[in-house]
Structure 1
Amino acid sequence: MKILVINPGSTSTKLAVYEDSTQVWKESVYHSAEELAPYHHINEQYEYRKEHVYTALAKAGISLHFDAIIARGGLLKPIPGGVYRINERIKHDLWNANMEHASNLAALIADDIASHSGCPSFIADPVVTDELRDIARLTGIPEVPRISIFHALNSRAVSRQYAASIHKKYEELNLIVVHLGGGISVSAHHFGKVIDVNNALNGEGPFSPERAGTVPARQLVDLCFSGKYKYEEIRKMLNGKGGLLAHLGTTDVPTIVRWAHAGNKKHKLVLDAMIYTVAKQVGAMHVALECQTDAIILTGGIAHCQYCTDLLTQWIHKLAPVIIIPGEDEMGALAMNALGVLHKELPLQEYL
């Protein structure tokens, strides 16, 4: 099976071709600030990015003959996890999405190439994957329900990888997946469904390299109405300029670790505090699984940092075995989802 994978980010578009589970070609098309400057909204980049994808495939001598094309899911409405056929409703909702992100273009480009290839096109496990139990949605303010936005693609992929390693199915296990990246999500996987997770984008759960996580609500309200900050400045405090960056002026965890080892008490305190907030969130997800967790998986870029994984493991190892699967392979995860559908091992769902 020949599968094309498309994964746009803010300054690049990642492409890969897989033959079954083997990656046979990859390319990252970088988009400079100067090239993107004329476009004021993500949707305006569609033709520009699409042409770069076609050009990259042509330069590599790759014909437009694929068994499937799969794209990173964008900011759609909340949907259960899994693989979805790209249909007109998906395209409509991506063109009219409330939030802008380069991933919104992925399915649009994939569908265009699929129309030339004569093959199906899919998305899988977008960040808006929502399988929360009803009891997990409510807060003390009816107008502010909890929302599921997290690293769904990688969290499910490493869960399936771990399950296969112990000769079980993902749907047979209770797992906690800790994605340690620029944002941090801690998700509770109950027999193949993510029944609870912190909103990793909009101010909930652990603080992270660039996000504030949960903060005292009354103090935040006072800050909002203090007159010192504008609306957009407060939003940046929560996502983009919070966390490690706000405390230390950097999001570079290896550098922070070096400073901590060199005796810098502030760097050590802030990094240790971040890991502490992650550990507390793991504890919450353990309760969500009724304290019957089969394993805790640490993944994402920061999972390469032994200082962080060692410290986090010290806090949580009595809850369940801790498994470390560092980094994230979004391209491979997307390809495996497409292959699963082509082999009829995974169901193909319809976005309604």
Structure 2
Amino acid sequence: MPDMPPLLAELVATLPLPTLAIDHSERIVALNPLAQDLLGKGVVGQHFITVLRQPTLVDAVEQCLADRMPRKAPFLSSTGSGDITYEVALQKIAGTGTVILSFQDVTHLAQAGQMRRDFVANVSHELRTPLTSLMGFIETLRGPARDDAAARERFLGIMTGEAERMNRLVGDLLSLSRVEAQERVRPTAKVDLRNVLHTTLRNLTPLADDNGVVLHHDRGDLPLMIRGDSDQLLQVFTNLIENAIKYGGSGQSVEVTATTSDRDPALRAPAVRIVVRDNGAGIDPLHLPRLTERFYRADSHRSRALGGTGLGLAIVKHILNRHRGRMKITSELGKGAEFCVILPLDTDTA
């Protein structure tokens, strides 16, 4: 095994990141316990190519040994729980032929970058469809349908619908941005959830009537006091009850119930549970874990036809996170769906 200065070996051992040293003979001469966990045991004395293997990092090591310039290179690893992305910093020690490699876990940055790319792609896709439709109708109205009054009225109606769809999407994007910005700021105002539910049900009664849906509710007789943002809570229950009305089906009913517990198992504290249940076609359990993801739709065609943007439940999730709440979704095909919102009670007010 190549000789390694004791001081440098001790320094490598104390560094907080996975770190190893490669000398002028291109062999690994020292590594700390974190690097040993990453690369395995028995690597000291081996040629670095047989240990690191990944071409981009191997090239960076060879160049650093040759020209002594610091570099950075990626290194990918995998565990039982998933892939890990490292950024490796390479630095040659002045006056020696030794290169130090430090591995920093940047998985969260890689995931955030991928989320941004996916988000931009989804928004572009959602906007492209109505924009393409609008451009096509405008071209038709300027050309073949210029003097066709009936076609003009029909096309203008469709164009209005597409414009409203884009407006809803932009509105939900702005709402999601605001909610995410406030997510770590816990609300302090005292709110009675019974009043929030009363306002929500009153606002949605005309929609329920238009869809032939009957709203049943049981909000109890006692105040349901929590610390919250009444506007955001109104947004939560408007979203859930409106979805239940639209997806529950004509001739069905939607039940909204509120119950309290001195120690709710989900929060391990006094809490209120608001359950919104419809009696529609239900949701395949396969989709349930992903329903709160941005732009995820269990039935994309039906969701778009009903005016959904794919962001509603994502907004609900972030609002509930701000209120230290939870949401549980249960459903079976043919047996409707149930959305249960769990929020901590304000015991001081009680």
Regarding TM over 0.5, the answer is: no
TM-score range, shorter chain: under 0.3
Indicate the structure whose relative CO is greater, using CA pairs within 8 Å and at least 6 residues apart: 1
Choose 1 or 2 for highest CA Rg: 2
Between Structure 1 and Structure 2, the one with more helix by share is 2
TM-score normalized by the length of structure 2: 0.23
